[in-house]
Amino acid sequence: MITMNKVSKHYGSFQVLADCTTQVHKGEVIVVCGPSGSGKSTLIKCVNGLEPFQSGEIIVNGVSVGDPKTNLSKLRSTVGMVFQNFELFPHMSIIDNLAIAQTKVLGRTQEQAREKGFKLLDRVGLRAQAEKYPGQLSGGQQQRVAIARALAMDPICMLFDEPTSALDPEMVNEVLDVMTELAQEGMTMMCVTHEMGFAKRVASRVIFMDQGRIVEDDSKEAFFEHARSERAQQFLAKILHH
C-alpha cells in the first residue's frame, strides 16, 4: 500500500532523511519510533506530501507522491492524518469539523456528511459533544474527534504523528484505545509514537530511526527482544525502564 524507496531529504547540508526504504502492506500497523530529531515525523509527513523530499520515491496506493503531476489534494483525501496538537478547526463545531471536508472535497451532501459524522462520533464516544466547539473539549476528546474527522473521509490508510505526546497522562489511554480498535479492524496504519505498550499490543512491525536513517525495520517480537543495533538497544533500555 505504501512503498518508500531510498527517500532522502535535506535542509541545506543537514540530512533529515537518508535513503529510507520500507513498505507498508494493507492491514499492517507500523510503529515508527526513535529519539527526537531522528526524522520520524518528517518521514510520515512525506507519505502524504506535506513535506517535500529531494530524492527517492514514495508510492501510495499506486500513486507517486513526489511526481509533480500527481494531484496531491486528491491523494491526501484518501490518507487520514492525525497530528500531535490535534489541529481541529477551532471556529467550527465538532460535527462541522467532521463534515466540512466530506462536503467540500468529496462532494457529499450536508445530510450525508453529518450522518456519517454522527456515526463516527458515536464510535469514539463523543456523540453528546457534537454541537460544542474544539476549545470546549479536553485534549483527549479533541484527539478522538481528530481521529473521527480523518475517518470521515473513508481513508485507505491512517498516519499518526505522535498522537498522544501533547496529552495529559490520564488521557493517553482513551486515545490509544480508539487506535487499538482501529488497528484490530484492519486499518493500515503508520504511527509515530513513544507508546511502547501500544507497539507491543498492536504493531505488526516496528521501525526504529536515528539521524534520518531507518536503523531497524523488523517484527515487534524481534525488535523488542533482540534489537540488532546498539542505538536501538540503548533507546529501548532507556524508555522501557519506567
Q: Which is nearer to other proteins, 76 or 231 (CB)?
A: 76
Least Cβ distance, residue 70 to other proteins (angstroms): 13
Give whichever of 140 and 196 is closer to other proteins, judged by the CB atom: 140
Minimum gap (Å) between residue 91 Cβ and other proteins: 5
Report in angstroms the alpha-carbon separations of 107 from 102, 110, 130: 6, 9, 21
Using the minimum distance from each CB to other proteins, give the nearer residue, 29 or 81: 81
Q: How far is the CB of 153 from other proteins (least distance, A)?
A: 7
5, 56 contact by CB (below 8 A): yes
Q: For residues 200 and 133, what is the distance between their CA atoms, to the nearest angstrom?
A: 35
Q: Kindly tell me which of 87 and 177 has the beta carbon lying closer to other proteins.
A: 87
Q: Closest separation between CB of residue 50 and other proteins, Å?
A: 5
Strand, coil or helix: what is 6? strand
Could you write out the DSSP letters of every residue in 42-79?
HHHHHHTTSS--SEEEEEETTEESS-TTS-HHHHHHTE
Q: Compute the distance between CA of residue 198 and CA of residue 209 in angstroms, rounded to an integer.
A: 18
Minimum distance from residue 76 beta carbon to other proteins (Å): 5
* Cα–Cα distance measured from residue 73 to residue 197, given in angstroms and rounded to the nearest whole number: 34
Residues making contact with other proteins (CB under 8 A): 45, 48, 50, 72-74, 76-81, 83-85, 87-91, 100-101, 104-106, 132-137, 149-150, 153
Compare residues 147 and 206 and give the one whose CB is closer to other proteins: 147
Residue 229 CB, nearest approach to other proteins (Å):
31
Pick between residue 118 and residue 133 the one whose CB is nearest to other proteins. 133
Sole residue written with cell 540503548:
234
Q: Name the E strands within the chain.
A: 2-11, 14-24, 29-33, 55-60, 63-64, 79-82, 157-161, 188-192, 205-210, 213-219
> Is 62 exposed, middle or buried, given 0-12, 13-18 or 19+ CB atoms closer than 10 A?
exposed
